[in-house]
Structure formats: structure tokens, C-alpha cells
Chain A
Amino acid sequence: MDFDFLFRNFADLTITGLALGSVYALVALGYTMVYGVLQLINFAHSEVFMYGTMAAAFAVIALGGAATTSTGAAIGMLLVALVAAMLVSGGVALLVERFAYRPLLNRNAPKLVALISAIGMSFFLAEAMGLRDKITAWFGLDDNLEPYVGRARNVVPLPDVVDPVGVFDIGGYTVTSIDLLVIGGALVMMVGVDQFIRRSRLGRGIRSVAQDPESAALMGVNSTRVVQLTFLIGGLMAGAAAFLYILRIGATRYDVGFILGVKAFTAAVLGGIGNLRGALAGGLILGVAENWGSAVFGTQWKDVVAFVLLVLILMFRPTGLLGEALGKARA
């Protein structure tokens, strides 16, 4: 146990932890919102995230990003990558809703069935990405698409279009442009979603369905649309998270969704599943706790620390830190 190391590098570990925690928090939003509205865990959400990371990487590759790209062009490419990631993730989330949930919900299937169909969807999406070379080969496109589909089960790197530049120092740690972008970008998204749910008309619809679906329907809220909107917002946020993730980690793979999804789900439960601000707090806490835990116990204990923390919090607060449902959140 190396507490001395933790205190010497406190700022460093905290800031890099916050950066990863922001990604967890944005992905956790998708889990918690769907739970709030449907009381279901959308296990395919991890794949929604993974498709976003791929979209971001492919966008930069398609635009010819390389280490030599000028700063101006690089910023443009990254903006395109962000938009591509959000659109693709949003689209995949809508597809998940359309094919894994709606047919079952329309038939009033038991909730457990939808849960299983989401798990199936998750495997389907991940393997489809992992086998994209074979799928494109059926259509004879694999040669044209080689930079995107070649080596389908290996890592897809994001071209090095940005070099992290030190911006300012805190406690001996030089905060880089990427740290700032990740944490700042995530904060803007979080505040945006939070305000959208609290203030807008559509947000009120989401809250009303979360609170009492039948009364909401009686009051003229179209619950199918609300469910769609919930998946869409979750997907868009997962896309933004995917962009920030690949900017930070530098690469992705067809199976990155699994571990990150588990972590984000943990963050959602930690903060109180169904609670928007809880998911945000849970993500940030988890990211920082993992880093501190890695520092004190060793990096291989990272996941142990995360889950022990979850168990401890649930022992004392069974509904999570801010355990309050989405519908009951004050407007």
C-alpha cells in the first residue's frame, strides 16, 4: 500500500480519474434514463457506445487524419468525428429500441424477456462489428473498405491528429488540452441533458412517463415517442462519450463496450439507478476511486476497488448515493 505515492501525485491521479469518470458518467446516463422510463436495464447500451468509438475513428481515417495534419484541420476532423459518433450511437440506440424492445413492449411481454433480448442484441452488435470484414466480403466490398474493415477483430487506432499540449499546472501535474477537452466536454453535455430533462417540454414528457406511464398516457403523452426519445438521448450521450474515450485512449476494438458498459452501469447503480444526477456523480466518483485505488493497491486491483466501493455504498444506501427516481426529480 503506497499512500505516499497517492499523495505525491494527487492532482495527476484525480484529474486523469475525472477524465475517465466523465466517460463513465455520460454512458451511465443512457442506462439510468432507460431504467427510469422502462424499469429495464438496456444491456445493449455498451454496444451503442462501441459503435460510437468506431464511428469517430472511421471519420478521422476517412478524412485522412495523420500526425502531420495541421491544428486547424485537426480540430475540424475532430468535430466531424464527434458528430459522426453521436449520430451513429444515436442511430444504433434507436435500432435497439425498434428491434429489441418495441416488439416486446407492444405485446406486453414480461420485463425479463426484454432484458434477455437486449443481451442478445448486445452480442449481435458486437459480433457484427467483429466480423465486419466477412460481412463486407459477402458484398464484395472488403477491398474498397480495407482501411475500415481489415483486421476486424484487432484494435482500430485513432490517427494521431492531436498532440496533447500542456495548458497549466496543478499540484505538479500539467493538465493537457485533451484532459480539458474531455472533462469540459463531458460537463457541458451533462449540464445540457440535465437541463433538457428538467426544463423542456419533451423532458417533462420523459419525466411523466417515468413517474406514472398510465396517467401520462391519459394526459396525452405518446409513450412510444417518449421511449424513443429516451433511447436517442442516451445514444447521443454514449456517442459523445465514445468520442472523448477514443481521444483519450487512442484506439478502440469491437469488444471495448463490455468492460466500459459494466463500469458505466456500476456508476449508474452507485449514484442511484433511474437518477440522472446520480449517474453523473457515480461516474465521476468511480473514475477517481479507480485511479486512487490503482495508486494505493496496484493497477491490477483497479476493478476490485471499483466493485468493493459499489458494495460498500449499497450496503449503507441500498438505492445508491442519490437514490431517487427520474420521475420524482424536482423540476
Chain B
Amino acid sequence: MSRPNTFARLGAVAAVAALVLSACGTTEDKTPSAGTSNGGPACGEKLAFMGALTGPAAGLGIAAVNGAELAVDQYNEKHADCKVEFVKSDSQSDPKQAPGVAKSLIDDDAVIGVVGPLFSGESEAADPLFNEAGMPLITASATKPTLSEQGWTVFHRILGNDETQGPQVAKVLTDIAKATKPYTISDDSAYGQFLTGATDSALGDALVGHDKIATGQTDFQATVTKVLDADADAVFFGGYYPEGELLIKQLRAGGWKGTFVVPDGVKDNEYIKVAGAAAEGTLVTCPCVPGDTIAAFADAYRAKFNEDPGTYGPEAYDAANVFLAGIESGINERSAMNDFVTNYDGEGVSKHVAFDEHGESAEIPIWAYKVEDGKYVALKQLA
């Protein structure tokens, strides 16, 4: 019995030593400068990204985090002696994990702002904590409208919300898809349900039916039967790509020939990879601007990541640049940063960036895309 005990003691000593060492590490790294603007840029600050980097929705998260990372890299090139550290925190966009991730960002005093959280569900879970801690946020993708109605002073959204997107979805269904019998399907996420509801009310009497599926569902036979039974000529699916790609595959396998319309939550390369031929002709609405048409941004992005910019890439890039502009002006604490963001007014690559009193973007471009030959092709600006 003595051997395991010795080992246990050794282990305990090692653990304590590690704790002490890491504690020392953090104190030493702590930035000495405190207070507000001192003329030059603030050094040793951290800018965080929060969203899905792994998990089923990681495709969207990675496209966004890359956009933000590009902005930070460009900043650090300019300020090589006074860098900003970029913290990527992975919430898997899971509302259950979001509060824990938020907590660890809040507890790190050097984190001065967060690009994110990525999705609406995790925002609902994490934003109250961020608000309490006064951590300024700019989300580049969470589009549920009620997020800006909670009185969170730290909340900013750099793109349009679903209230503005819903009527555009209806317009795509009736004008571009020329549907006379549109059908809508929502998932059970905060985002999907709201957006589908907004679309339903914009469609009014034209709507021939509605069904609801569950996140994580893989078999959609009952839904396929419902769509065929309603004789729908266009289907809008409000949700994310993991369900969207299987849904369209099974709709096509079931012999449905109509037009499939999806929102930004499906607009990811994963959707095209998995759904393959079934994805062709899918119409997409997105409050995001086509990244590949913004030459300067797209070139820098391709040079760094060897691929075309994805959905929300330009928006996350702009969001990060707002924070970086604040850091550059010498801001090194959260409440000053929040004021800076709230009053920000400047050109971004995706739009003219400015926020209204609720933190909503002042300018809201919405685009329609179409899947052609395995690519998202920008059709036109809807609004």
C-alpha cells in the first residue's frame, strides 16, 4: 500500500507546483499600464472570438474566426512591438457550454472585447454574463432580433437581424423562385424558429404548410411526405446546415422537384459538399455580403488561408477591426471600449459600420445567393 501512497503524494506535490507556476506566469504577463488613453496604442490586450470551432456547426464558426484572425494579424504586422493577442474560444455554439466559455473570457482581465458569440442560442445563454461584466460584444452572425431588446448595453450586431431577413426570404420565394405554393420548415433553434415565423407572416395566405424538425434529426421521411402531399413548389428551411443538407438530400430522393430556399445558417461549404447534386439550384438569403467580391479582403484572406472567404468572414473582419481601432487609440479597459464601439462610425469591408441605440447595425445589406456548380454565386442585393 505504501507505493501508491507515495505516488499520490508526488502527484499532489506536482499538481500544487504546477498551479503555483502557472499563477506566477499570469501575474508576470499582466499588463503594467492601467487607466485610459495614453496617446499610443494599448499593449498586451487580448481580443477574443467566441463560437463553434469544433462540433457540428464548426464550418460557420471557422469562416468567421478566420475573418477576425486576419484582422488581428494585419494589426499585429503594423504594431509589431505592441501586439494584440487573439483568443479563440470554442463554445461549439452550444447554449449549455456558452456560459462556461463566457466566464473564462470574463475572468481574463486582459480580454477587452469579444467578436461573437456566433449563434443566437449561445448568445441568449452568454450575453447576460457578458453584460454584467461590462464586456463589449460585436456579433458577426447571431441574428435573432430579440437579442438587441434585452437592454444589454454591451451588445452590438454588425449585420441585419431575422426581422429584416424574414420578408426578404418571402420575396425570394415568391419573386426569384416564383413559388405559388411555398412550404416552410423550421428547426427547433432560437434562430430557425424566429426566422421561419417571420417568413410565414410575410407570406401570409400563400403559405401551404409548415413543419418543424428537431436539431440532430437525420430521418426526415415524414417531412418529405408532408411536402409532397402539400404539392409545394418551393420549400424554405429555417435552420442550420447539418439538418439542411440531409433534408434536401431526402427531399430529392423522395422525388420532390421544387426550389429549396435556405437562410445564412445553411450557407456553408459543408452544405454543398454533403448534399452534392441535391444542393444545386438552392437559393440562399444572407445578411452577409459576398466576401469574394471585396477584392482587397478576399486577396488577403486567400493568401492566409488558401481558400475563398466564407460566410460571415467579412463581418467578423469588420467586427475585429472596430475593437482593434479602439485598442490602437489607446483604450485598455472594457467600459471605455464599449463606449468606443457604441459610438464607432467608419467604413468596413462589408458595410459602413455604425450601431444604433440598441446595438443594431445602422446599415443592413441582404443578399441572395444561388448554388451553381458547387459554389455560392451572389445573385443580387435584396435590400
Which residues of chain A have a CB within 8 Å of any CB of chain B? 5, 8-9, 12-13, 16-17, 19-20, 67, 151, 153-155, 157, 159-160, 164, 166, 174, 176, 178, 248-251, 253, 256, 259, 290-291, 294-295, 298-300, 302-303
Contacts and interface: CB of A to CB of B under 8 A. Distances in A.
B39 interface: no
Interface in B245-282: 245-246, 249-250, 253, 255, 270, 273-278
Nearest to B270: A154
A251 B278 CA distance: 13
29 contacts: A5-B229, A9-B225, A12-B228, A13-B222, A13-B225, A16-B224, A20-B219, A153-B55, A153-B56, A154-B59, A154-B274, A155-B246, A157-B245, A160-B276, A160-B277, A160-B278, A164-B253, A250-B246, A250-B249, A251-B246, A294-B222, A295-B225, A295-B226, A298-B211, A299-B212, A299-B217, A299-B220, A299-B223, A303-B214
A303 B226 CA distance: 18
B188 interface: yes
A88 B67 CA distance: 40
A299 B213 contact: yes
Contacts of B226: 5, 295, 299
B277 A249 contact: no
A80 B222 CA distance: 30
A153 B54 contact: yes
Determine the interface band of chain B, counting residues with CB < 8 A from chain A. 35 or more
Contacts, number: 98
Given A154-B59, A250-B249, 18 more contacts: A8-B229, A9-B229, A12-B225, A19-B221, A153-B58, A155-B270, A157-B245, A157-B275, A250-B253, A253-B56, A298-B211, A299-B212, A299-B213, A299-B220, A300-B188, A300-B212, A300-B214, A302-B214
Interface string B173-207: 00000000000000010000000000000000000
Contacts of A20: 219, 221
A292 to B, nearest CB: 9
A174 B218 contact: no
Interface of B: 54-56, 58-59, 188, 211-214, 216-226, 228-229, 242, 245-246, 249-250, 253, 255, 270, 273-278
A178 B253 contact: yes
A166 to B, nearest CB: 8
Contacts of B273: 157
The 5 closest A-B pairs by CB, nearest first: A294-B222, A16-B221, A300-B212, A157-B274, A250-B249
A279 B218 CA distance: 22
B250 A250 contact: yes
B226 to A, nearest CB: 7
Q: Which of A155, A160, A176, A298 has the most CB of B within 10 A?
A: A155
Contacts of B221: 13, 16-17, 19-20, 291
B237 to A, nearest CB: 12
Contact of B225 (A16, A153, A249, A259): A16
Contact of A157 (B58, B225, B228, B276): B276
Nearest to A154: B270
B371 to A, nearest CB: 15
A67 B276 contact: yes
B34 to A, nearest CB: 40
Nearest to A178: B253
Given A153-B58, A259-B216, A295 B245 contact: no
Contacts of A253: 56, 242
Nearest to A23: B219
Contacts of B188: 300
A300 B223 CA distance: 10
A251 B222 contact: no
